[in-house]
Structures are given as C-alpha cells and as structure tokens.
Amino acid sequence: MKQRLISALVVLILFIPILILGGIYFRIGITFISMASVYEIVKFKDNIPKFIKLLSYSLIIFMIFTNINYIIKIFIVFLILLTPLIFYDRKNYNIEIFSFLSSFIVFLGLVFSYVCKIRDTDINILIFLLLITILTDTFAYVGGKLFGKHKLIEKVSPGKTIEGSVIGSLVGTVLPTIYYIYMINPSANILSTILMIFVLSLIGQLGDLVFSSIKRFYKVKDFSNIIPGHGGILDRLDSIIFVTMGYLVLINFI
C-alpha cells in the first residue's frame, strides 16, 4: 500500500504541471504516455522485428502530433504497417501481427489525440472526465472491500463486485455532476447530465473489464511494472480511455 501511495504521488507531481500548462507541454507528455502504452502492447507479441517496433512508436507520435483528418491518419497507419509484409518472413511479421499492432495504434492514437484536443478546448472538461474515472475506480474498490458479496464478472476480474460497481458509479456520478454544472455548463439539463455521467461511469468500468480481459488472454497480471505498485500505464488508463470515447459520443445528445 505504501508503494502504491508513493507511486501515485509521484505520478500526480509529474502530471499536474503539464495538465495546467497545456499546449505543447501537455501534448509532449501525452506522447510519452502513448509510447509507453505501445511498448506495453508490443511486449505481448514475441520476436516482432525491431524495425516494426520503431515504426509503431513513430506512428503513435504521428497520431498525436498531426492535425490532419483522422481518416487519413488511419489510412497512413495501415499503409505503413502493411508494406513491410512484403519483405519479412511470415514467422517474424505477418497479417496477424499487423492487425494486432495497427488496431491498437489507431485505437490509442485516436483516444490520446482527442485527450489533447479536449485539453486545448477546456481544461475543466478533462478534469471532469478524470473525476468520473478516479471517483468511480476508487469508490468501486472501497465499496467492494466494505460491502462486496456478489462477484461482477469473476472470470475476468475476480476482485470486482456488483456492490462495489454500484457504489463506484453512484459516487462517480454525483460529484462530477456538480462539477459539470458549476464549471462547464451551468445551463445544462440536470437530468440529462446525470444520466450522461452515470453512463460514462459505467463505460469506465467496462473499459477496466475489457483491458482485464486482454490481460487474462495473454496470462499476465499487469501490462508492465512501469508504475511500482500499480502496474503499467494501461492498467491506470483503461477507464479514462473508455470514458473519453463515451463522452465524445454522449455529449452530442445533451
């Protein structure tokens, strides 16, 4: 527990300044986070050629730093990762590895680039999304420890309980709703806002379960040990990734 608290404090000390500064500083910080995420994904596949790994890191940087149309970005990622299939032996680089890498690079690249766009638009929106994620995760854990009796989806994440999930979503809805109404959109319909945030809280928990399922498939406990006591970057960002995607969809309906 002590190690987890120290690691969390270090992460906050590093992240809060770049969050406040925004602009190029935030984008650079997110780029390092995205590259670390790709590193964690690449480790799941043995013997990927070093050149393909280098391409993967370069492409995630391309996804974050360019402002061209997202469809064009996706096309370029596919084109660049497809071409080496011509030159490599199928044992080292094949269509399965291409599909694996390209899907994660596009997925993570789009989400992280949207996070940068959200920060450039309004820091309060990003804080709001982080509040939903942090409060839901924290109180789902605490609620599960105190009141959990019924497993949520045991085969994917044995520690999660239905009671914890409900408590997490309730707390992860109430406080972010207050923040949203007072700091972002005072004229927002309260009922629609509550519903949106409650759904986002559930989506965040879904993201946690999806990434837990990926780890189960590859028989690993954590994506890496980059953050002592917490695991990897994706172990900490799984929920916010899904919350960000959910927000970009749901905000159009309130």
Tell me if 111 is assigned to some domain: yes
Summarize pLDDT for 42-67 with one digit per residue, the tens.
Answer: 988 878 899 999 999 999 999 998 88
The per-residue pLDDT for 120 is 94
Alpha-carbon span 179 to 183, nearest angstrom:
6
The reply to whether 3 falls in a domain is: no
Let me know whether 156 and 112 are in one domain.
Answer: no
Range of the structural domain that residue 109 is part of:
21-121
For the segment 126-136, what is each residue's pLDDT rounded down to a tens digit? Answer: 999 999 999 99
Q: How far is CA 41 from CA 65, 79, 100, 107, 191, in A?
A: 20, 20, 9, 12, 39
Q: Would you say residue 147 lies in a domain?
A: yes
Asked if residue 231 and residue 131 are part of one domain, the reply reads yes
Q: Report pLDDT for 7.
A: 66
Do residues 218 and 154 both lie within one domain? yes
**Reported pTM:** 0.90
35 close to 57: Cβ distance less than 8 angstroms: yes
Pair 126, 168 in one domain: yes
The verdict on residue 8 lying in a domain is no
Res 101 pLDDT > 90: yes
pLDDT at 2 over 70: no
Q: Based on the domain organization, do 101 and 211 belong to the same domain?
A: no
> In terms of domains, do 99 and 155 share one?
no
Residues of the chain above pLDDT 90, percent: 59
Cβ–Cβ < 8 Å for 197, 204: no
Three-state helix/strand/coil letters over the chain: CHHHHHHHHHHHHHHHHHHHHCHHHHHHHHHHHHHHHHHHHHCCCCCCCHHHHHHHHHHHHHHHHCCCCHHHHHHHHHHHHHHHHHCCCCCCCCHHHHHHHHHHHHHHHHHHHHHHHHHHHCHHHHHHHHHHHHHHHHHHHHHHHHHCCCECCCCCCCCCEHHHHHHHHHHHHHHHHHHHHHHHCCCCCHHHHHHHHHHHHHHHHHHHHHHHHHHHHCCCCCCCCCECCCECHHHHHHHHHHHHHHHHHHHHHC
Among 121, 145, 161, the domain-final residue is 121
Total domains in the fold of the chain: 2
pLDDT band with cut points at 50, 70 and 90 for residue 40 = very high
Find the range with the poorest average confidence among 100-109, 168-177, 226-235: 226-235
Q: Are residues 172 and 213 in the same domain?
A: yes
CB 168 within 8 A of CB 205: yes
pLDDT band at 203 (very low <50, low <70, confident <90, very high): very high
* pLDDT (mean) for 138-152: 84
Looking at the structure, tell me whether residues 114 and 158 fall in a common domain.
Answer: no
Give the chain's length.
254
- Enter the tokens of residue 192: 């629609």
The pLDDT of residue 115: 95
1: pLDDT strictly greater than 70: no
pLDDT band at 12 (very low <50, low <70, confident <90, very high): confident
Same domain assignment for residues 135 and 116 = no
